[in-house]
Structure 1
Amino acid sequence: MTEKRSMKEVREEVIKVLKTVYDPEIWVNIYDLGLVYDIDINDNLDVYIKMTLTSPTCPIAETLVQKVESKLSYIDGVNHVEVEIVWEPVWNQDMITEDGKLALGLM
């Protein structure tokens, strides 16, 4: 029987996985682009992600959500994954992490 993982361990792995999902137009990962607004993990290790897109007319919105859900579902111990696209607050370049700004040449 495997030991149940802590929410902190799962959160750290969720972030690692999110950093492997790239915006195909900008080619920076969605986490460092600041597209991930909230990561909620409950006691059952169900993962709920609130994220946005750089544009409401993003042609790959549905595909991107499916990719995030699929990749996160492979994390050991995670039971359920749900990704919700939100539009508030509106994404802007100030939300990009320092790593993302470096990748984009903004620093």
Structure 2
Amino acid sequence: MMTDSMQKTPAAEGPAFDPETGGRDMIDLRATPSSAAATASPSEAEPPSKAEPPEAMSLDEIALANITAKIVEALKTVYDPEIPVDIYELGLIYKVDYDDPGRVTIQMTLTAPGCPVAGEMPGWVAQAVERVEGIDRCDVDMTFDPPWTPDRMSDEAKLELGWM
């Protein structure tokens, strides 16, 4: 079952070269795969019958999709001790920057700036991600911009907490 937060991971679209990041593969968990289609005017969008079939993924794209899935799986093993939902489904992960070879930088937030585990959470995240085969180093950057709000939670998390 695909959750809202998993749909926000554009890794399936394949990596794109970004001159600002030196070509690193970035997964922006705030973006939505359909955001480009939503901004296209009706004249720019092709009807489904004329749309070209999707291109086959390259080996690099397949490898990136596989490592992305493993990183997400690792993130789902880390829980906020005050909330019985993992940090990925809570929407605490804002961005994952995978920089070959084997280096990951994660931008994340906490449910509140005064969270009692603010000093420990980055270490928990780094340890979980560094267990992924092919990842040698994980740096975790904390941010409170934008601040976390419950609307960042996946439907799965809301169900778990009885909010739906």
5+ residue gaps, structure 2, are 1-59
What is aligned with 2:102?
45
Selected match of 2:82 from 21, 25, 39: 25
3-state secondary structure, aligned to 1:50: strand
Q: Give the Cα separation in 1 of the matches to 2:135 and 2:100.
A: 10
Larger radius of gyration: 2
Q: Give the structure, 1 or 2, with the largest relative contact order (CA under 8 Å, sep 6 or more).
A: 1
RMSD: 1.5
Q: Give the Cα separation in 1 of the matches to 2:64 and 2:82.
A: 32
**Structure 1 stretches of at least 4 aligned residues deviating more than 3 Å after TM superposition:** none
The TM-score normalised by the length of structure 2 is 0.60
What is aligned with 1:76?
133
Cα deviation for residue 11 of structure 1 reads 1.0
Cα deviation for residue 100 of structure 1 reads 0.7
3-state secondary structure, aligned to 1:32: helix
Q: How many aligned positions are there?
A: 104
5+ residue gaps, structure 1, are none
3-state secondary structure, aligned to 2:80: coil
What is aligned with 2:111?
54
Q: Give the Cα separation in 1 of the matches to 2:97 and 2:117.
A: 24
